[in-house]
Amino acid sequence: MKGSSITLVYHPFYLEHDPGRGHPERPARLTAICDLLEGHGIFSRVELVNPDEAPTELITAVHDPEYVRTVAEMASRGGGYLDVDTGLSRASFRAARLAVGGVILAVKRAFSQGKGAFCLVRPPGHHATSSRGMGFCLFNNLAIGARYALDVLGAKRVFILDWDAHHGNGIQDIFYDTPLVLYLSLHQYPLYPGTGYLNEVGANSGEGFTVNIPLPSGAGDNVYLKAFDEIVFPLVGQFEPDLIMVAAGYDGHFADPLAGLNLTVRGYAEMAKRVRQLAHDFCENRLVFSLEGGYDLGALSRSVLATIGELANLGLEIEDPCKPPPDLPVSEIQRILAPIETAQRRYWKL
């Protein structure tokens, strides 16, 4: 749709990536999302674009060439497993290149058109390190997109917010030594992959530019929104990014089977609203969301719909189909966030 305030990036070949029978990161995730978006008339209200496969040289700007060859060769043989959780089919290498291509296209359009994008991609990416695929992830879509913004489009600083329930160890590792990327992750801890504690803050010139907000099981909307208001907003204001990127995982929803957080559809909508405001205030609306986790189909599709509705300012009111758990008491929220704020005051004004 011409003139839309948001771009949706999608390619039907994403459905061809098959990590194995019974795998939680299944094609039905995207099918459920697209069906709900279609049912609410979203595709007629936003601009839908299809990406091309990312060139190898853009992928190897982040990933070891030997690792990229390993993924290509495994797929060409019909598939296999990079680890016990991360399977490939014959179509997976092309799907992964299209996922990277989707984020790169969104980054290009963010700079050329100054509007947000939501990338409905799979396979996901935030666990993939420079030399290893893991946690359902093959290539690190957002990290490659951030590197493209810095190296090709002239961005000076990129802020990556990760609200997936699982810590994005791959993004953290890739940018651990640089002050050009501020990586901030809100995640359940302890949980797979076992990284993302307070003392992981970056190294060398990148010290202070990795910010981890590890949260206990049971943390919900009020914990996240207070963290946004008291930590995320001040940090972004001081960092002044040229681009904001979001690792948009929805496995923090209370119905998700792989985590124990208590976020709701309304909570995701409120976070998206805050991120949209940050992009407006600090980087001329240059904003790229990329789908990561989320494995309950109903919770995932509703949460994505609510997010897109906020980004496009469509005025949607999307609710959970069942009653969410009660919020934590204010005193418990303060107890959870106090040590995180104390740790970050070493590097940032909070």
SS3 annotation, 83-120: ECCEEEECCHHHHHHHHHHHHHHHHHHHHHHCCEEEEC
Q: Does 51 map to a domain? A: yes
Q: Does 274 map to a domain? A: yes
From 183, 111, 106, select the one nearest 141 (Cα to Cα): 106
- Confidence label for 48 from pLDDT (cuts 50, 70 and 90): very high
Print the domain residue range for 18: 6-344
Cα-based distances in Å from 194 to 188, 189, 198, 214: 10, 7, 12, 11
Q: Does 11 map to a domain? A: yes
pLDDT at position 44 is: 94
Q: Does 350 map to a domain? A: no
Q: What percent of the chain has pLDDT over 70?
A: 99
Q: How far is CA 46 from the centre of its chain?
A: 20
Span of 120-124, 133-137, 197-201, 318-322 with lowest mean pLDDT: 318-322
Longest CA–CA separation in the chain, Å: 56
What CATH number has the domain bearing residue 242?
A: 3.40.800.20
Q: Does 167 map to a domain? A: yes
pLDDT at position 2 is: 46
Calculate helix-pair angle for 297-311, 265-282, nearest 10 degrees: 30
Q: Does 349 map to a domain? A: no
Say whether 280 is catalytic. Answer: no
Q: Which is catalytic among the residues 11, 127, 166, 187?
A: 127
User: 108 with 7: CB under 8 angstroms?
Assistant: no
Is the pLDDT assigned to residue 177 strictly greater than 90? yes
pLDDT in tens, 179-218: 999 999 999 999 999 999 999 999 999 999 999 999 999 9
Q: Does 85 map to a domain? A: yes
pLDDT at position 113 is: 94
Span of 24-33, 48-57, 138-147, 321-330 with lowest mean pLDDT: 321-330
Is the pLDDT assigned to residue 4 strictly greater than 70? no
pLDDT at position 313 is: 94
CB-based contacts of 133, cutoff 8 Å, min separation 6: 67, 71, 82, 83, 86, 127, 139
Mean residue pLDDT across the chain: 97
From 234, 246, 227, 272, select the one nearest 162 (Cα to Cα): 246
pLDDT in tens, 225-246: 999 999 999 999 999 999 999 9
pLDDT at position 345 is: 97
Q: What percent of the chain has pLDDT over 90?
A: 97
Hunting for tokens 């990229």 — which residue is that?
68
What's the number of domains the chain is made of? 1
Tell me the mean pLDDT in the region 7-22. Answer: 97
Is the pLDDT assigned to residue 255 strictly greater than 70? yes
Q: Does 139 map to a domain? A: yes
From 102, 193, 204, 94, select the one nearest 138 (Cα to Cα): 94
- Confidence label for 1 from pLDDT (cuts 50, 70 and 90): very low
Note the pTM of the prediction, 2 decimals: 0.98
